[in-house]
Copies of this chain bind each other. A is one copy, B any other.
Amino acid sequence: MILWDNYPVIKEEMDIFEGVLRKFLSSKNELINSALGSLASAGGKRLRPAMAIASAHFGEYNMDEIMRVASSIEILHMATLIHDDIIDEAKTRRGLETIHQQHGINIAIFAGDYLFSKSFSILSLEGNRNLLTHIASVVKLVCEGEIEQYRSRFSLDMTIYRYLRRIRSKTALLFMLSCELGASVSHCSRDVINQLKRFGLFLGMAFQIKDDILDYIGDEATVGKPVGNDLKDGIYTLPLIYALSNDNDGRLSGLLENQPYDVERIINLVIKYGGIEYAERLLDRYTDKAKAKLDKLPHSEFRDFFFDLTDDLVSREF
C-alpha cells in the first residue's frame, strides 16, 4: 500500500484531496450515499489523483481547479472498479465487501453509472472543452479494453502485442490522462505536457505488468487476493503468454484445456518457461522509458517525487 505519509511533498494535498473527494461523493440521495459510503471511506491508493496533482505543480498551480480535476479522475476510476468487480464477481475490494456483494448487482450497475455522470458533471465545470472530448474518448477506449479482455478469455492465440494493447487501454491511458489533465489545467507548455503524458503512459504500462506478475508470484497474504486470480478467470497475461511460446511439448497448453485449472502446476510451468523473467524484462523496459521522460522535465521536488513513486510502484509486493 502506498502511504502518502512517506511522501512529504504531496502529503498535505492528498489529505485535502480526501476531503474534497468525500464532498463530491456525498449525494443528497440517501440511497446513493449508503451504496457509495463504504467505497468513499475505503481509502484506495488515490494514485491517479496524486499523479494529476503532482503534474499540476509543473505549471501555474491552482488548488481548487486541480482538486476538482483530480476528483473527477478518481470518481471515473471508481466507476470502472464497481463495474469491474461485478464482472470479476469479486467479493471484496481493499478488505471491504464490494458494492454488488453488499447491495446487489443492480444497485452496483447504477452506482457505477451514477459515478460516470458525476465525473463528467464535475469535468464539465472546467473551461476546456477539448479535455472533456479527450476524456470521453479515453473512457471509450477503457471500455473497449475491458470488452476485448473479456472476449479473449481462455484464448490460446493471445499475442504479446494484443496483451500490450489491452493493458494500454485498460490501465495506462488513465494514468496518462491523469498527468495530462493535471499539466493542462495548470497551463504547462506543450512540451512539458507531452513529457508528462508519456511518463504517465509508460508508468501505467509498468504498473499493470507488475500487477500481472504479482498474480503469478505474489504472496497471497501481502497481495490481499489469491494468486492465480486472473488466470482462473481465463485472463491470460504476459507471463503466461510468453511461457506458451516456449511450451514446445504442449504441457502448458494441455493444462489450460482442463478446467478448473490446476493453478499451482500452471504457475510452476510459467516460471519454468521463463514467463516471469520475460515479464520482468518488459517491466524494466517500461520503467526505463518512464524515467527517460522524467529526465526531460525541469528539476523540481515533484520530478523527484515521480522518480520515487515509479521505483516504489514497480518494486511493490502487493
Task: Name A's B-contacting residues (CB within 8 A).
Answer: 27, 29, 31-32, 35, 79-80, 83, 86-87, 104-107, 109-114, 116-118, 120-121, 124-125, 127, 129, 132-133, 136-137, 139-140, 143-144, 146-148, 150-151
Contact = CB atoms under 8 A, between A and B. Distances in A.
B136 A120 contact: yes
Given A87-B105, A121-B137, 10 more contacts: A32-B143, A83-B109, A83-B110, A83-B113, A114-B147, A117-B140, A121-B133, A124-B124, A124-B133, A124-B136
B116 A113 contact: yes
B120 A151 contact: no
Contacts of A32: 143-144, 147
B120 A132 contact: yes
Of A35, A105, A114, most B-chain CB atoms within 10 Å? A114
B112 A147 contact: no
Contacts of A29: 144, 147-148
Nearest to A129: B124
A133 to B, nearest CB: 4
A133 B80 CA distance: 21
B136 A118 contact: yes
Prevailing SS type, chain A contact patch: helix
A298 B191 CA distance: 54
Given A83-B110, A106-B150, A132-B132, A27 B118 contact: no
A29 B144 CA distance: 7
A180 to B, nearest CB: 16
A104 B137 CA distance: 24
Contacts of A87: 105-106, 109-110
Nearest to A139: B117
Nearest to A106: B87
A143 B114 contact: yes
A86 B111 CA distance: 14
Contact of A113 (B111, B139, B148): B139
Contact of A107 (B106, B132, B151): B151
Minimum-distance CB pairs A-B, first 6:
A121-B136, A117-B139, A114-B143, A124-B132, A87-B106, A124-B133
Contacts of A124: 124, 129, 132-133, 136
A125 B133 contact: yes
Contacts of A105: 86-87
